[in-house]
Structure 1
């Protein structure tokens, strides 16, 4: 597991990680332990919307129209 002591919201280095709020993203060797300066920053991080393009197929971005120069 990797550890990040840079608060992703404030971009400040968290000095005292023994008392800082944190969360673990991911699993196994690819996981990262992220530390925050405050609970407010942790919540702001959690409130960031995450896109899941492999799971969200409600929008079709396919453009079936022929483009100039396309062969039929």
Structure 2
């Protein structure tokens, strides 16, 4: 398990994580245990929406313009 002692909301390092709230994301050896400074920052983290490319990106980021000599993709 990977352990993160940096609160993802505040960016502050938690020197002594014992007794601090945490969540575990994922499973097995690639799971991540994330510690928080407080229950409030844990709640904020849990309320964040996960981006879904099918729902959140309405525009293509493809550049249709030529990218220089020899570019056959954007012709």
Whether TM exceeds 0.5 here: the answer is yes
Q: Could you say what the CA RMSD is over the residues aligned between the two structures, in angstroms?
A: 2.4
- Between the two proteins, the alignment pairs up a number of residues equal to 64
Query: 1:20-47 CA distances to partner (integer Å, 9 max, x unpaired)?
Result: 0001000001100000000000000000
Greater relative CO, 1 or 2 (CA 8 Å, sep 6+): 1
CA drift of 1:52 comes to 4.1
Structure 2: any 5+ residue segments left out of the alignment? 65-75
**Which consecutive segments of 4 or more residues in structure 1 shift more than 3 A?**
none
More helix by share: 2
Q: TM-score, normalised by structure 2?
A: 0.68
